[in-house]
Amino acid sequence: MNESKSNQKESQNKDMETIIGYTLRTGVIVSVSLAIIDLILIFISGNINYQTGSYKNTFAFITTTFSHLSFLSLLFIPIIILIATPVIRVLMSIFLFLKDKDYILSITTLMVFIILLISIFIVA
Amino acid sequence: MLLFYFGIIIFSILAGVIGALVGIGGGIVIIPILILIFHINIKIAIGASIVSVIATSSSAASVYLKDKIINIKVGMLLEIATTIGAITGAEIMGILNTKILLFIFVFVLLISLLPLLKNRDKELDENVKNDNIANYLKLSSSYYDKLQNKKITYNVTNIPGGFVIMYIAGLISGLLGIGSGVFKVLALDDVMKLPMKVSTTTSNMMIGVTAAASAFIYLINGYINPYIAIPVMIGVFIGSYYGTKLIGKTSNVYLKKIFILVILVIAIEMILRAMNIL
């Protein structure tokens, strides 16, 4: 009885690790592929003069960069996908740990997620 | 312009290979190269580095998760400390001037060499006892060691101490745009007494999440220049991928000695640069 219970838990954990691993891999592959396309575009355009500017907050950055689809917004897309990958991974982990009924770990992960949200929307 | 770009890509691949082989990470190797060879501002170099750090850490973690060596509970708990540290570090980085950042970078670079001089193949300490927090959160765990062909069960101790070191590790990561795996392993291995394999893989899983906390702040403050970050990220990613496959096929001792020498030269150059002599 105990044996089968622990086996069941083991298999759930395995699923969870597969899903998290898959999320990470997908995020990286999509981002790096888009980055390679961007690199080719940069070579074709032959222009690398860009002065970075600072923005008031994340909303200001997104609205300025993506208000119209410019060359620069194309360049920022793979970078944003990549930075968002660990954040999405943490968000998914909360639900996966909840499904596993591991409440302490869910709360821990939720705290990490909240800190990440603070870094994205409040501090920056 | 073509030459400049090819140069950045080639050197980024090289930094990725060396970073993976020596076990120090690609970010800390590419930053001095961008500053000294390509005359890129240190803050833009830091911004490009953090993007490459997320790419390599995320792809490595997806592999380690399959091997079930990572201690997810310990990693998540300590990510609370590293992410708060990373936010602090990224904010401080925005205020500091280039010169002070250069000095801090050289200091951290030299400290990061210390573990390379130490023999890491030590036996696991069997007498480690869980502390109260580890008992309450059930942090002790086990993994299957392929080399020794047996299951290794371990305890976790000194969580408060590990938390403090992890905050500092996060702060350094956010301040300099590096993974600061050396400091994370210090907390897991030396302070909390986890087995070496668990420490290195868990540290790797934590690096991506820590880096994400400071990366958004860099992005909003304008330290991520996509024209530099994109070739660096692609290069370091490809380099680390092949570097990881080369581990074990090359003589590590010899490589580490050359690496230490090269880093010492780089450190001197960076100090001269910071003092306006170069």
- The 10s digit of each residue's pLDDT in B166-225 is 999 999 999 999 999 999 999 999 899 999 889 989 999 999 999 999 999 999 999 999
Which residues have C-beta within 8 Å of that of residue B64, sequence separation ≥ 6?
A: B70, B201, B204, B205
What is the pLDDT averaged over residues B235-259? 81
Chain A contact for B44 (CB, 8 A cutoff): yes
Confidence of residue A87 (pLDDT cuts 50, 70, 90): very high
Residue A8 has pLDDT above 60, yes or no: no
Long-range contacts of residues B159-166, Cβ cutoff 8 Å, at least 24 apart = B159/B77, B159/B131, B159/B133, B159/B134, B159/B192, B160/B133, B161/B187, B161/B191, B161/B192, B162/B78, B162/B187, B162/B188, B162/B191, B162/B192, B163/B78, B163/B81, B164/B81, B165/B191, B166/B78, B166/B81, B166/B82, B166/B85
Chain A contact for B62 (CB, 8 A cutoff): yes
Q: CA of B64: which chain A residue's CA is closest? A: A21
Of the given ranges (B34-43, B121-130, B183-192), which has the lowest mean pLDDT?
Answer: B121-130
H or E stretch including B255? helix B252-274
Chain A contact for B3 (CB, 8 A cutoff): no
pTM value? 0.90
Chain A contact for B30 (CB, 8 A cutoff): no
Residue, of B121 and A120, whose pLDDT is higher: A120
**ipTM for the assembly:** 0.90
Chain A contact for B80 (CB, 8 A cutoff): yes
Between B76, B84, B230, which is nearest A35 by CB? B230
Of the given ranges (A14-23, A71-80, B221-230), which has the lowest mean pLDDT?
Answer: A14-23
pLDDT, tens digit, 9 for 90 and up, residues B64-101:
777 788 898 999 999 999 999 999 999 999 999 999 99
B 144-203: CB under 8 A from A? none
What is the pLDDT averaged over residues A68-95? 91
Question: B83, A75: Cβ pair inside 8 Å?
Answer: no
- What is the dihedral sign for C-alpha B271, B28, B228, A52? negative
Chain A contact for B234 (CB, 8 A cutoff): yes
Q: Which residues of B touch A17 (CB under 8 A)?
A: 65-66, 68
Using CA atoms, how far apart are residues B218 and B174, in angstroms rounded to an integer?
9
Question: A78, B230: Cβ pair inside 8 Å?
Answer: yes
B 107-136: CB under 8 A from A? none
Chain B closest-CA separation from residue A6 CA (Å):
14
Between A36, A52, A104, which is nearest B222 by CB? A52
